[in-house]
Structure 1
């Protein structure tokens, strides 16, 4: 690990710990390939695992054109999901867990079989899925004011923050995820709408992309792991006290509650 990679990983780990964002790091890596940003992210994951956390899955970020336009990037990325990122539906999530949270509705895949690329096909990916769940991903950035390009967000573990899963499993064969419409309500107000087709044409395509991207890095998508394929709408800022409901046709609904002052 180079000195610069260690410096960046330490800076981001400190931001997690203190809840104080840092300035963008990309300028220090102007000539570095994107693989260097993934090295920075993996160094943080290794630190968390060393401290007792456990990898429970992966996420695909920046998978829809809406999110890519919002974040000013032109390609997907991926991050790791650890046990500490998962929160129960309807249960208040401590607001001080995050720095500048936004929320995204997604269809979560839970795997029954391992997937490892390169060369994974849509057929193999579909066969590996045990069931789907409606999900809300809380994305967060350790970079001040979300001033991120692709290098910064990749280094920051794809801006991962938290995950809330619904509790009603649905078989992949029972829903056409390409056509599944989605509504996102915050405090009872309709904030955004979308559909599964916004996610690389289908959320299943995002699973294929992930398996084939992480495989050459020596990573296997494991049975029981959760994969978040990407948001069906734009990312929406949330604040303490907010209640968020995503309803995905054919998949179900999921509710996330960010604790307010009265919950402390």
Structure 2
């Protein structure tokens, strides 16, 4: 495992890359012995510095939960990161592309919890009972580590490549809709680029919420009421550039639009 000094050094590098919108060399090319435990420790140090600087944590993102995303990245297990209040946008937002690095969009559902959720044996039914409502969401990926050759260690260290999210306005309780069959039709500048259904996320998009609660239990923590859980993409990531108009149609759950400026 990496020393505390090296972990702090990498966290500081990532914080600087976030401020300056730059990319750093792969962690695993410089410290090939780094483990997944090291990567979450790096993310944790970075998170704590952000909170100390005044940012407010509002939820968690889960990534790499679908075959589409695992094939796109070559990474075969889920990961998670944190989300701060200043990264949440509403549909119709204009998003400065220069605030991010390696900017891509993913199609997801987000869940807001009405009750705390705790492992170690949390099931899908437990997660559904704890969810207040689901809402469609687009995730903006923001990768501060060079993409070629990166591993799960690099991705987790970089806050699971989370940059921002854009939330829709249609909210559904889990008993109001079969969440497995929520569609996503993602367009860029009027042309359809990606399609999928939410069942592509672990068979049911809320399965990732249960997975995260069990993962947190290993660290003596739980998911809290009011947290937003971004459940993972059911399409491949779509690259975006300045000037792109993005629209995603979620069928019965409405649409999300945003523009990159």
Pairs within 5 Å for 1:170-209 = 170-209=172-211
- State whether residues 182 and 252 of structure 2, in contact with CA within 8 Å, keep that contact through their aligned partners in structure 1: yes
Tell me the distance in 1 between the aligned counterparts of 2:260 and 2:221. 32
Aligned partner of residue 174 in structure 1, secondary structure:
coil
User: By how many angstroms is 1:204 displaced?
Assistant: 1.1
1:93 positional shift: 1.2
Q: Is the 8 A contact 2:137 2:166 kept in 1?
A: yes
- Structure 2: how far apart are the matches of 1:176 and 1:29? 45
Structure 1 segments unaligned to the other structure (5+ residues): 260-264
Per-residue CA deviations over 1:205-243 (Å, capped at 9, x if unaligned) read: 111111111222233211111111100100001111112
2:65 to 45, 63, 66: 63
Deviates more, 1:115-124 or 1:151-160: 115-124
The alpha-carbon deviation at position 251 of structure 1 amounts to 2.1
Assess if the C-alpha contact under 8 Å between 1:110 and 1:129 holds in 2.
Answer: yes
Q: TM-score, normalised by structure 2?
A: 0.95
Partners of 2:162 and 2:224 lie apart in 1 by: 19
- Structure 2 distance, partners of 1:220, 1:145, is 31
Q: Which among 150, 153, 156 is matched to residue 154 of structure 1?
A: 156
Other-structure match for 1:262: none
Q: So what's the TM-score if we normalise by structure 1?
A: 0.94
Matched, 1:114 2:149: no
After TM superposition, give the deviation of residue 250 of structure 1 in Å. 2.9
Matched, 1:127 2:129: yes
Q: Name the structure 1 match of 2:170.
A: 168
The 8 Å contact of residues 136 and 256 in structure 1, kept in 2 or not, is answered as no
Task: Specify the SS of the correspondent of 1:138.
Answer: strand
How many residues in Structure 1 have an aligned counterpart in Structure 2?
Answer: 259
Residues 136-170 of structure 1 deviation map (CA, whole Å, 9 limit, x = unaligned):
00011001245421110000010000011011211
Q: Can you list the C-alpha shifts for 1:4-38, whole angstroms capped at 9, x where unaligned?
A: 11111111111001111111011333223211100
**Residue 142 (structure 1) aligned to one of 132, 141, 144:** 144
Q: Which segment is superposed worse, 189-198 or 212-221? A: 212-221
Match of 2:255 among 242, 253, 256: 253
Structure 1 residues 142-151 or 237-246, which shifts more? 142-151
Unmatched runs of 5 consecutive residues or more in structure 2: none
Q: What is the alpha-carbon distance in structure 1 between the residues aligned to residue 170 and residue 200 of structure 2?
A: 23
> Contact 2:75 / 2:151 at 8 angstroms: preserved in 1?
yes
